[in-house]
Amino acid sequence: MSDSSDNHAALHLGIAEQGKLHALKGAHDEALRHYQQALRLAVDEGAPEVFFRHYTQCVMESLEALGSYDGVLRFCEDADRHYQALGKEGPLFALDHGSILERLGVVQMKAGDMNAARSALGRALDLAGPGRLPLAAQVLGWIERGMTVSHRHLADAQKRHGYFVVTRERVDPERAIPLPDGVESKPAGLV
């Protein structure tokens, strides 16, 4: 990697890290501004897809925290179609696709669409295999038993099962870089 590539990577990584600090404080609109800029920089530089996927997960978490389920649902549904069109196989691919379906099912449950959540979570578990998505298994069990689950109870299960990528343990404040003055961004919820 050249020095220029390293500097660009450090910039989008740092901006995303600052976004995570905002998310941890509950300032999800500001977190989204940072994630969106990190995504733009990563795409513009042709960074490896892992950066795009990670920043997108961060965006979806902030949208979910804001209750902006439509954006999360749209992304997950598009990603599901993309994975199906690829038709790839293998345990890592299956887990990645299953994780998207798990997020889809969880957000559908939060939005009150239990039938769609049941379907998405069942597909997630079928794809990923036994024991690989414990949150999906727990939430599907709740739905199948007809339980009413509070958002707080669901959030506790999400934390317990490592659903969130933005956690205090995973954020490095030393890498954080605030957005430069004058950086424009789309309104929250538009990635």
User: What is the mean pLDDT of the segment spanning 161-186?
Assistant: 87
Q: Give the pLDDT of residue 3.
A: 54
Q: Please give the mean pLDDT across all residues of the chain.
A: 90
> Is the confidence at residue 102, as pLDDT, over 60?
yes
pLDDT of residue 39: 93
CB of 59 closer than 8 Å to CB of 37: no
pLDDT band at 168 (very low <50, low <70, confident <90, very high): very high
Average pLDDT over residues 102-121: 96
- From the options 1.10.3470, 2.40.10, 1.10.287, 1.25.40, give the CATH code of 68-165: 1.25.40
How many other CB atoms sit within 10 Å of the CB of residue 143?
Answer: 19
Write out pLDDT tens, residues 70-87.
Answer: 999 999 999 899 889 988
Question: Which whole number is the average pLDDT over 106-123?
Answer: 96
Cα 70 to chain centroid, rounded? 14
Q: What percent of the chain is predicted at pLDDT more than 70?
A: 91
The model's pTM = 0.85
Residue 120 confidence (pLDDT) above 90: yes
Q: Where are the domains of the chain?
A: 1-66, 68-165
CA angle 88, 90, 94 (to 5 degrees): 80
**For 186, what's the count of Cα atoms within 13 Å in the CB-facing half-sphere?**
11
pLDDT beyond 50 at 2: no
Instruction: Look at residue 191 and tell me whether its pLDDT is greater than 50.
Output: no
Q: Count the Cβ atoms, other than its own, within 10 Å of residue 92.
A: 8
According to the model, what pLDDT value does residue 186 have?
52
Q: Checking phi first, is residue 113 left (phi over 0); if not, alpha (psi -120 to 50) or beta?
A: beta
Position 47 pLDDT exceeds 60: yes
Question: pLDDT band for position 136 (50/70/90)?
Answer: very high
